[in-house]
Amino acid sequence: MRRLLLAGAAVLALGASALLWSTAPERADPAVLEGIAPDPERGAQLFLAAGCASCHAAPDAPPGTRPVLAGGRRLASPFGTFVAPNISPDPQAGIGTWQPIDLFNALKYGTSPEGRHYYPAFPYTSYRHMSPADVVSLFAYLRSLPPDPTPNRPHELPFPFSVRAGLGLWKALFLRGGWVLRDPPDAAAERGRYLVEALGHCGECHTPRNALGGLRRRLWLAGAENPAGAGWVPNITPARLHWSEADLLGYFTTGFTPDYDTVGGSMAEVVENLSRLPEDELRAIIAYLRAVPAVAPTKRQKE
Ligand code: HEC
Ligand code: HEC
């Protein structure tokens, strides 16, 4: 009996270590970035298109051209409250000691330089599609911003969400799959796919999630509960978004809807960033939105 128990315990321990091993944080071979020269102007544009400041700028920071990425914004979620970290070039408080490969591993695999898992509140689920050259340019741009000494504050997460090791399993389940729109109909929609699925992380807000917080890719952009609490993030598939190209362009550049309402909630900062991108990029986003499968609004959303 004792032997049987021991054998059982050994099998369990083996199983647990196999699980932890198979879900250990992944990292890239630094050679993937070798020989890539940064393009700082491209980096500035990527920074806008990816909306990094929406989470990492200090909560009271005025919008400006030289954002101070001191962190400190509180991000509510069903799993607890995350506090965005300082990603300014300060060597102690921020990421001033990082190399481009560290940013690549963070964006691509959600892995920290020390080899820990990041929470997907940092939307690497989308950013993982960024090209190595773009990560190098984004890194150079981040490095050019002002350093800030504000120390990081801990997330406020209840057990078991406070345990980072469990994130390996989450990643194994949800950090997978290629593009959602497999066959873009033309070059504009393909360019838009990169802007929406990789950079703009539009799906992180506009796509519903399952009970574990994974995106339900089959309901891509079909509208979702607002993670911050009240309200609903709208369905922006062709089933419900009937705005003309001019309407959408107007919305993305001025924040006005076709019926002269103004953009609100978390979309306001998205529009602030989009409005500073070249018009071609916005037209590409629109081409993409036209090309995604139409998914009918859910019953709750219609109410
Ligand atoms: C929706 C909010 C959000 C957006 C948008 C966002 N981040 Fe973050 N980011 C976070 C959170 C939350 C964390 C902390 C994750 C953790 O502790 O596991 C984080 C962590 C990081 C870290 C790790 C910092 C450290 O000290 O280890 C880096 C680097 C980073 N983000 C860079 C970026 C860049 C670059 C962008 C834009 C391409 C970006 N983030 C966009 C929320 C966001
Ligand atoms: C941080 C969450 C968030 C992200 C990221 C986000 N959105 Fe939104 N979006 C919203 C919310 C919330 C609204 C509703 C705004 C309102 O009530 O005024 C909205 C509204 C919209 C609308 C208007 C739809 C309507 O029927 O009123 C469009 C179009 C849109 N988003 C497109 C996009 C695109 C394209 C992206 C990516 C580039 C994006 N959104 C990224 C949260 C987000």
Question: Among 267, 274, 295, 302, which is best to mutate for testing ligand 2, by the most ligand atoms less than 8 A from CB?
Answer: 267
Please give the residue range of the domain that contains residue 71: 29-174
Q: Which residues line ligand 2 (CB under 6 A)?
A: 196, 200-202, 204-206, 233-234, 236, 241, 251, 257, 263-267, 270, 285
d(CA 26, CA 235): 34
Which ligand is closest to the CA of 121, given by its number? 1
Q: Does a structural domain hold residue 19?
A: no
Same domain, 139 and 207: no
Report the 10 Å Cβ neighbour count for 253.
Answer: 15
Cα of 76 to ligand 2 centre, how many Å?
18
What's the pTM?
0.94
Same domain, 124 and 41: yes
Q: What are 35-42's contacts with CB under 8 Å, separation 24+?
A: 36/132, 36/133, 36/136, 37/136, 38/100, 38/136, 38/137, 38/139, 38/140, 38/141, 39/133, 39/137, 39/140, 40/137, 40/140, 40/141, 40/144, 42/134, 42/137
Q: Does a structural domain hold residue 160?
A: yes
Q: pLDDT value at position 303? A: 47
Which of 146, 174, 202 is the C-terminal boundary of a domain? 174
Q: Does a structural domain hold residue 18?
A: no
Q: pLDDT value at position 230? A: 75
Q: pLDDT value at position 301? A: 64
Nearest alpha carbon, ligand 2 atom 42: 267
Taking 50 as the pLDDT cut, the residues of the chain under it are 303
Q: Does a structural domain hold residue 180?
A: no
Domain count, the chain: 2
C-beta of 112 in contact with ligand 1 (< 6 A): yes
C-beta of 106 in contact with ligand 1 (< 6 A): yes
Question: Among 56, 199, 205, which is best to mutate for testing ligand 2, by the most ligand atoms less than 8 A from CB?
Answer: 205
Same domain, 219 and 143: no
Same domain, 169 and 269: no
Q: Does a structural domain hold residue 8?
A: no
Nearest alpha carbon, ligand 1 atom 8: 122
Which ligand is closest to the CA of 297, given by its number? 2
Q: pLDDT value at position 227? A: 73
Same domain, 51 and 90: yes
Cα of 96 to ligand 1 centre, how many Å?
15
Which ligand is closest to the CA of 108, given by its number? 1
- Residue with token string 């993030």: 233
Cα of 174 to ligand 2 centre, how many Å?
23
Same domain, 197 and 170: no
Nearest alpha carbon, ligand 1 atom 9: 122
- What are the angstrom distances between the C-alpha of 25 and each of 35, 94, 139, 177, 240? 25, 21, 21, 18, 39
Contact 116, 183 (CB under 8 A): no
Express each pLDDT in 224-255 by its tens digit: 988 766 788 999 999 999 999 999 999 999 99
Same domain, 212 and 241: yes
d(CA 205, CA 226): 7
Same domain, 159 and 194: no
Cα of 67 to ligand 2 centre, how many Å?
22
Same domain, 237 and 147: no
Nearest alpha carbon, ligand 2 atom 25: 234
Which of 123, 139, 174 is the C-terminal boundary of a domain? 174
Q: pLDDT value at position 84? A: 98
Nearest alpha carbon, ligand 1 atom 32: 87
Q: Does a structural domain hold residue 10?
A: no
Q: pLDDT value at position 15? A: 64
d(CA 35, CA 105): 17
Cα of 235 to ligand 2 centre, how many Å?
9
C-beta of 171 in contact with ligand 1 (< 6 A): no
Q: Does a structural domain hold residue 9?
A: no
Of 209, 222, 208, 198, the closest CA to residue 284 belongs to 198
Q: Does a structural domain hold residue 245?
A: yes
Same domain, 293 and 166: no
Of 127, 86, 85, 121, the closest CA to residue 105 belongs to 127
Same domain, 225 and 259: yes
CATH of the domain at 143: 1.10.760
Same domain, 147 and 239: no
d(CA 45, CA 275): 11
Which of 149, 174, 199 is the C-terminal boundary of a domain? 174
d(CA 232, CA 229): 9
